[in-house]
Amino acid sequence: MKKRPVNLGRSDENIAEQYPNIYEGLQKDAGQNSWDARITKKGKDWRLLFKYIRERNCLMIEDSGTKGMDATKWNSYQSLWDTSKKETELGARGQGKFLFHYFSARKLVLTETIDESGKYRFSYGTSEEWDEDKCLADFLPDMKPLDHQGTRIWILDVKKEFLDELLDPSKFSRYIETTWWEIIRDYNASFVIDFDGCLRKVAISQPPSVSKVRQFRSEKVNGLGTIRNLELYYTADDVPEEIRGIAVQRGGMTITRIPVVADESLRNKIYGFTNFDEELETELKKCELPNHFGFFNRKAWNHVREYIRRKLETFVLEITPPRKKVEVSSSILNEAVRLLNSLVEQYAPELLIGPSAPGGKGGGGKDRTERPKPPVRIDTFRPNQKKFEYNETLITDCELVNATSQDREVTLEVRLSHEEGKDKHSSVYHVRLSAESRLRIDVPLIDFDPGDSPGRYFAEAVLSDTVSHDELHNRSFTIWLHQEPPTTGRSFVKGFKMIMGRKVQGKTLFFAKWRNLEINEEGIIHVVWDHPDFERVRVRAGKKARNQEILVYITERGVDEALRRLLANRLAEERLDTEEIKKTKILCEEMIYDAVVRTGV
């Protein structure tokens, strides 16, 4: 017999262990292979049959309305882990065939196909070897060969320990329904089960009546493509456990479901789905797990998951029953917004987005789209504060990074000038940046004297190649001398609101142990009023001291959100490592320290 070309030295048992449920995986792999081979885009006359033949103890999987396998596809099919399929096709990893062999006690699988030219092909084999020198009658003498265009697979001698679970028509139908509901709904795709001599066509069950729905259309995701639809549903009664959460669809197949983080009484009533345009589907396919049950930690999936999670959290807040009203002085809340936006502008300006709010940076209402960072760049360039008085000193934190594998000779020019054009400082540094390294630049301390003009100062750092003089990167910041910075502009947060974490009856909500909820799409951070840490802050003696403590506590919750967002950005950019986590946490600790100093606590 012929040895199968195998790209990796794994066995069918190893593959089976990768599936959270091998029975669900069986129908998923069979379905995606067949749906990929459909003749028409909408699957006209497409059908997939799962039939168990008891007297032969074999499982037959047969499709119609498909192209069958020509010589090229036939050879690819025989080569386990062949990945020659297009990225837009559902099954582009080639490992699903192992699962068919795993269900057989002898690892023996027969395959028949008729392609578009009418050519019939037959093979038999295990996960290790195969051949074409026999026919179907040699194994199943009472069975007729395939007589129509398409493909038929026979799993011989099904393992006895699998039969009870595999042949439960209700469970198997449910696996198909929860995986392929989209193409069943949209294209009337026909999945048929015959495990006991009775044909059953899989149909979609009706969920409980919907109390609230939110729909989002054509949302672009970080230049990766478009989320075509995101639909969230809240029902009057509990939905079946297997459809709770948000189904992530690719090519009509449910890959995974994002769980709902909420009180049990709410999360049991929430379901939904999301699907994508071809561009984003292609990006997601690149990071999809080989078993089609999830995604690797990659950029496209991270951004999609984060988008869905934020929409979902906002939806949960909308349907959460109103709680006891709690309030903090509006002046404290406004000051916290102003203070946090000022800190973010100074330490993490990449988080600033429109629309405007107190304390943010000017520059219009358009969202900032972060461009890819150059491999040789100015990684850090920021002042020790935004507002200066005379006799105070500007301390500039400046670091260069060379993320390439080669040493680089670079020149850094640093300039500080008044808005009217007069230079306050300029310096030039010629440095050698080693490969894969970071270098701190000791920019001189700059003192502000009474003779310096008040107003706005611009600092700019320009990095260029010493030999070619080509500009590699530039960074800038703005400070103010003896003048208040602007109070409106681009912002990180628009407001803070208080929310109760415990119900009146003493029961807790899902976020009761959190200090705050994640910042939502409206730029609002909900602070948990009855969290023990916040309660201790509010018992501080003296109204002035108590208000200062409340201001710092609320601002700290905003810094926590800045930390969360920075780490999420690094994760999505696939550059989150131990050093980056440490650096980001230190940056946020500096923000909190600055907040305490500014408020005088």
What pLDDT digit, counting tens, does each position of 37-61 carry? 999 999 999 999 999 999 999 999 9
Exposure string (b/e) for 21-49, b if CB count within 10 Å is 16 or more? ebbbbbbbbbbbbbbbbbbeeebeebbbb
> Is 76 strand, coil or helix?
helix
Amino acid at 354: G
Question: Topology of 210-319 in CATH?
Answer: Ribosomal Protein S5; domain 2 (3.30.230)
- Which tokens hold the place of 388? 């200066």
Q: In 4-143, which ranges are continuous DSSP H helix?
A: 12-16, 22-36, 71-78, 96-103
Q: In 462-527, which ranges are continuous DSSP H helix?
A: none
Upper half-sphere CA count for residue 473 (Cβ side, 13 Å)? 18
Q: Do domains 2-201 and 210-319 have the same CATH topology?
A: no
Question: Topology of 2-201 in CATH?
Answer: Heat Shock Protein 90 (3.30.565)
Angle between helices 543-572 and 578-599 (to 10 degrees): 160
**Rounded to whole angstroms, how far apart are CA atoms 198 and 195?**
7
Mean pLDDT score of the chain: 88
What pLDDT digit, counting tens, does each position of 542-594 carry? 777 888 899 999 999 999 999 999 998 888 877 788 888 998 999 999 999 98
Q: What is the pLDDT of residue 369?
A: 44
What pLDDT digit, counting tens, does each position of 92-109 carry? 445 677 889 999 999 999
Angle between helices 299-319 and 543-572 (to 10 degrees): 140
Residue count (the chain): 601
**Rounded to whole angstroms, how far apart are CA atoms 454 and 389?**
9
What pLDDT digit, counting tens, does each position of 214-228 carry? 999 999 988 899 999
Instruction: Indicate if the alpha-carbon torsion angle 416, 422, 424, 429 is positive or negative.
Output: positive
- CB proximity list for 243: less than 8 A, separation 6 or greater: 178, 207, 257, 271
Instruction: Mark the ranges of the chain whose per-residue pLDDT is less than 70.
Output: 4-12, 80-95, 322-326, 354-371, 486-489, 503-507, 540-541, 601
**Rounded to whole angstroms, how far apart are CA atoms 403 and 413?**
20
Instruction: Indicate if the alpha-carbon torsion angle 37, 39, 41, 43 is positive or negative.
Output: negative
Separation of CA 577 from chain center: 17
Q: What is the pLDDT of residue 263?
A: 79
Exposure string (b/e) for 256-286, b if CB count within 10 Å is 16 or more? bbbebebbeebbbbbbbbbbbeeebbbbbbe
Tracing tokens 């049959």 back to the chain, one arrives at 49
**Helices (H), strands (E): how many in the chain?**
13, 28
Query: Residue 545: beta bridge partners?
Result: none
| pTM exceeding the 0.75 threshold for the entire prediction | no
% helix, strand, coil for the chain, step of 5: 30, 30, 40
- Which tokens hold the place of 135? 């026919």
Instruction: Say how many C-beta atoms besides its own lie within 10 A of residue 123's C-beta.
Output: 18
Annotate 125-174 with DSSP letters as a single string. E-SSEEE-SS-GGGT-TTSPPP-SSEEEEEE-SB-HHHHHHHT-HHHHHH
CATH, domain 363-485, list 2.60.40.10, 3.30.70.1250, 1.10.287.130, 1.20.58.220? 2.60.40.10
**Rounded to whole angstroms, how far apart are CA atoms 343 and 243?**
43
Q: What is the pLDDT of residue 354?
A: 58
* All structural domains of the chain with their residue ranges: 2-201, 210-319, 330-345+491-599, 363-485
**Rounded to whole angstroms, how far apart are CA atoms 411 and 64?**
67
